[in-house]
A and B are shown apart, each in its own frame.
Chain A
């Protein structure tokens, strides 16, 4: 078990959104305010960690032929739990995230990690993978929310940050702003990764 390597993979080199390009739909749809981004990110983090643990536990029992269906049952179970908890304790957040909470069932990040990691690794490693991948997702969501909320509505966490004379760039809150923002982030990430890969090559020689 290599905690440091898993941490780096989850947040940077194998970042679910910026490198694996998974879970794009929710990333673009809900990142209009930091509260939404945090709520979504933490929900996915919890569901991902729990489903990773359970799938790792069951990995020797689940028959290979029907594994996807079994994963979905496990994931859907946790999504329902989280959705009911949100409805009970954070009804406002549940309302603003709307259909995107139940849609976590088909979020590629969770199914992808189950398929690619949890069914081959121990329970501990899978739990860590869930936490770090979930963190990587949350960080990207919050970064996108920061730019879109600050420049698209002049606020942060619902508080007015920009001077009132600032005309918000509505484009950023619209879906097209999500595409532009995500594209720019992916480009920056790829540029940084390519640069560090080049540096590594240089030090080896």
Chain B
């Protein structure tokens, strides 16, 4: 029988149910989800893909550790967020990127974009993408030196020794869609046997990682689906004359950094809206901007800038798109939301 006399009423504030999920476990899941794409990068570009990624991780962690040390802040490298940033910076650079440029890119990502704005959870731009934008502005030549698929870039070799190729996005930018279909099949695009940034080429492996994150509930489907959906619809209705609309859409979906951006970067907790409707608006915005930049901009690829631009609107989306308060009548709900 229950001992009613000794039963104590425990009064505590919510949450009452906890699980062991923390930043570290979430970041670990993201790292696991990125491994398939890394394997594909090694298969595609040789062992240098692995060494560049490992070096980038070392740099990112070093900058995080160094900043906290110099500024006498508590060490946060244990939460693994710097590791994820490091992997992502490497993933959006060409495999031939010199190591010292990676070091600078990680500095920009971790110290300037993340730590100077207050560290994890307070930065307003995605660190890895901002690092890439800075590298592209600094070293445009090195950042557009794309190794051809199947090349074996030497770990300590010079970039000039590597056979280069135009990325699918660059071929499409030339305006000759049939040249692209001749160069790569849809299957090549899906599996990732194309030129491009280190970790962005394989839509298949990135989708695999994305599925893992969805199952583990690390990300929700809202942003990626809204993002990819917007791009798909826009491509379907705006396919160039003479091209099969569905083929054109598939090339656009699998090409460039779209999968990597939609699954791993647009879903960054800190820099995307909190609410589900907000995330859908965020994804649609990213999709529109990506298509516009690819189609009308001077750059062949627009994923990086579109996500960075939408990052800047996150506070606005969070301010105006709020969930209705549970149980309140309709009118009051509106007033409460307006407050």
- Name A residues whose Cβ lies closer than 8 Å to a Cβ of B: 167, 169-172, 174, 176, 180
Interface stretch, picked from B137-145, B222-230, B293-301, is: B137-145
Determine if B112 and A171 form an interchain contact, defined as CB atoms under 8 angstroms apart: no
- Complex CA distance for A167 and B140, rounded to whole angstroms: 11
The answer to whether B138 and A170 touch across the interface, beta carbons within 8 angstroms, is yes
Q: Which of B101, B112, B142 contacts A180 (CB 8 A)?
A: B112
**Closest Cβ of chain B: how far from A63's Cβ, in Å?**
47
B134 contacts chain A at the CB level, 8 A cutoff = yes
Instruction: Using CB atoms, name the residue of chain A closest to B134.
Output: A171
When the two chains form the complex, which single residue of A167, A171, A174 contacts B142, counting CB atoms closer than 8 Å? A167
CB contacts under 8 Å to A, within B89-142, are 101, 104, 112, 134, 137-142
| B112-A167 in contact (CB<8A) | no
A167 to B134 CA separation, bound complex (whole angstroms): 14
User: Cβ of A169 and Cβ of B139 under 8 Å apart?
Assistant: yes
8 interchain residue pairs of minimum CB distance: A171-B137, A171-B138, A169-B138, A170-B138, A171-B134, A167-B139, A174-B137, A170-B137
State in angstroms the CA–CA spacing of A151 and B142 once bound together. 17
What separation, in Å, do the CA atoms of A67 and B21 have in the docked complex? Answer: 65
Q: Which residue of B lies closest to A180 (CB)?
A: B112
Residues in B lying within 8 Å of A, measured CB to CB = 101, 104, 112, 134, 137-142
Residue pair A170, B112 in contact (C-beta under 8 Å): no
Most buried by B among A170, A171, A172, A176: A171
Which of B101, B134, B137, B139 has the most chain A CB atoms closer than 10 A to its own CB? B137
Closest residue on chain A to residue B135 by CB atoms: A171
Chain A to chain B contacts (Cβ below 8 Å), 13 pairs:
A167-B139, A167-B141, A167-B142, A169-B104, A169-B138, A169-B139, A170-B137, A170-B138, A171-B134, A171-B137, A172-B138, A176-B137, A180-B112
> Once bound together, how far apart are the Cα atoms of A170 and B101, in whole Å?
13
Bound CA span A19–B211, Å: 51
| Chain B residues, Cβ within 8 Å of A176 | 137
Known pairs A170-B138, A171-B138 / 13 extra A-B pairs, C-beta < 8 Å: A167-B101, A167-B139, A167-B141, A167-B142, A169-B139, A170-B137, A170-B139, A170-B140, A171-B134, A172-B138, A174-B137, A176-B137, A180-B112
Question: Separation in Å of the A109 CB from the closest CB of chain B?
Answer: 27
CB distance from B305 to the nearest CB of A (A): 13
Residue of A nearest to B136 (CB): A171
Q: Nearest chain B CB to A99's CB is how many angstroms away?
A: 24
* B residues near A167, Cβ cutoff 8 Å: 101, 139, 141-142
- The residue of chain B having its C-beta at the shortest distance from the C-beta of A174 within the complex is B137
Which residues from A are CB-within-8-Å of B101?
A: 167
Q: Which residues of B contact A169 (CB under 8 A)?
A: 104, 138-139
With A and B bound together, what is the CA distance between A180 and B138 in angstroms?
13
